[in-house]
Amino acid sequence: MFIEIDFNSDEAIYMQLRNRIIMGIATSEIREGDSLPSVRRLADNIGINMHTVNKAYTVLKQEGIIRLDKRRGAVIALDINKLQALEDMRRELRIILAKGRCKNITKEEVHELVEELFVEYR
Amino acid sequence: MFIEIDFNSDEAIYMQLRNRIIMGIATSEIREGDSLPSVRRLADNIGINMHTVNKAYTVLKQEGIIRLDKRRGAVIALDINKLQALEDMRRELRIILAKGRCKNITKEEVHELVEELFVEYR
DNA sequence: CGATTGTTATATACATATTATAACAATCGG
DNA sequence: CCGATTGTTATAATATGTATATAACAATCG
């Protein structure tokens, strides 16, 4: 999986990393059971500090996306709590849709966007 | 408009404020042309610093939601750049839907969430 | 045994968030 | 015109979050 970091972004490096890995799972670039690189190797590859990678992995663990295993490293292990996931998504969508509403974005346009984005995930 | 701040939240106060105002516009609690309280008065009401409110207003101005006017204060003035707004929404939805995909949230469930949330905005 | 794993600890540097005062020019009501 | 209020700007202090640099630990695998 190719990982690119924008050091000029206002988004924290560990969050960019977390987002990239979530995208990788959603697009099936990586699958349940696959191992991610060790914190040290990935840090070296990208050219960042070990702790920054560790922080991204810790967030993903907290979110129930990976399982941290000694020796096997970080393993994709999806802990499916759908009610929790729907609640999280609802809270995040709420603000984004409200802003769109201020900009006259219609319900239909949001549906189209969702359709369009879901093409990536299969 | 009633504004409540959660001081234990990990979300910055100025962003909570920004979000609350966007929600207020989307739900028609406040309308185009209405004035928001002055930075000093709102800060006193909530019990926070003037500069924190100012920062929220500056963000809203940058996003084309309000216009800052001497004497009239912050006035709701929606600068509609739909292409820009759609692009912004697309970028934000991308990550959220990807995370949902990891949690087995289907396209249909997202559509339902959108329908449900849009009931608030009329 | 030796290398690699996540984990933990400490320290430093920097950016951001929040607060506290203070002062300025512009503007409106009386 | 006067005084109060407006956004704006400046400076400073504190707290928190981000990122880096070393270092060491126990566990695990070949």
The phi and psi torsions of A105 (rounded to 5 degrees) equal -80, 125
Q: With a 7 Å cutoff on the CB, does A13 touch strand D? A: yes
Nearest beta carbon to residue A95 from set B22, B101, B104? B22
For residue A45, the model assigns a pLDDT of: 92
Q: Domains along chain A? A: 13-76 (1.10.10.10), 82-118 (no CATH)
Q: Give strand pairing partners of A69.
A: A73
Residues B82-122 pLDDT 10s: 999 999 999 999 999 999 999 999 999 999 999 999 999 87
- Residues from chain B that touch A98, judged by Cβ atoms under 8 A, are 19, 22-23, 25-27, 121
- Residues from chain A that touch B97, judged by Cβ atoms under 8 A, are 26, 114, 117-118, 121
DSSP state of B44: H
pTM for the whole structure = 0.91
- Cβ–Cβ below 8 Å for A101 and B65: no
Residues A12-62 pLDDT 10s: 999 999 999 999 999 999 999 999 999 999 999 999 999 999 999 999 999
Q: With a 7 Å cutoff on the CB, does A70 touch strand D? A: yes
Query: Is the model's pLDDT at A72 over the cut of 90?
Result: no
Residues A91-120 pLDDT 10s: 999 999 999 999 999 999 999 999 999 999
Q: Are B32 and B78 in contact (CB under 8 A)?
A: yes
A vs B: CB pairs below 8 A:
136
Confidence of residue A71 (pLDDT cuts 50, 70, 90): confident
A57: nearest Cα among A71, A37, A85: A37
Residues B38-81 pLDDT 10s: 999 999 999 999 999 999 999 999 999 999 887 788 999 999 99
Q: Are A36 and B113 in contact (CB under 8 A)?
A: no
Q: For residue B25, what is the nearest residue in chain A, using CA coordinates?
A: A102
In chain A, positions 69-108 with C-beta closer than 7 Å to nucleic chain C are 69-71, 73-74
